Amino acid sequence: DQQVKQNSPSLSVQEGRISILNCDYTNSMFDYFLWYKKYPAEGPTFLISISSIKDKNEDGRFTVFLNKSAKHLSLHIVPSQPGDSAVYFCAASATGNTDKLIFGTGTRLQVFP
């Protein structure tokens, strides 16, 4: 039973356009959500997070939106750059502490010129 789902395995976006990556979750106990970015042959690196008390968090070109009623979050990248090409993982925690993260299956983003 996949508690965190990323239903789009891949996404292709032109440079300069907006990239929107989606994530759905089923466990209503999740109260902290994170996005990680992963390049080949490297470990995931933290990108941005959001607490369940917020519905939006912004950091430069990256914005995460949380819709608790729909159990849905999304990551917006504006404008997209070729260096953003990577696999993006959504993750969730039920305690607020990130000692136990449940990850989605990932979305591979390709940004082309």
Is 103 in contact with 4 (CB distance < 8 Å)? yes
* Residue in 109, 93, 112 with CA at minimum distance from that of residue 101: 93
For 82, phi then psi, to 5°, come to: -55, -35
Give min distance, CB of 93 to other proteins, in A: 9
Identity of the residue, 82 or 96, whose beta carbon is nearer to other proteins in the bound complex:
96
Is 50 in contact with 66 (CB distance < 8 Å)? yes
Identity of the residue, 43 or 113, whose beta carbon is nearer to other proteins in the bound complex:
43
Give min distance, CB of 86 to other proteins, in A: 14
Encoding tokens for residue 35? 């996005």
Is 23 in contact with 102 (CB distance < 8 Å)? no
Give min distance, CB of 106 to other proteins, in A: 6
Identity of the residue, 30 or 89, whose beta carbon is nearer to other proteins in the bound complex:
89
Give min distance, CB of 64 to other proteins, in A: 13
Which positions touch other proteins (CB under 8 A)? 4, 6, 9, 32, 34, 36, 41-46, 49, 51, 89, 91, 96-106
Identity of the residue, 30 or 32, whose beta carbon is nearer to other proteins in the bound complex:
32
Encoding tokens for residue 110? 């390709």
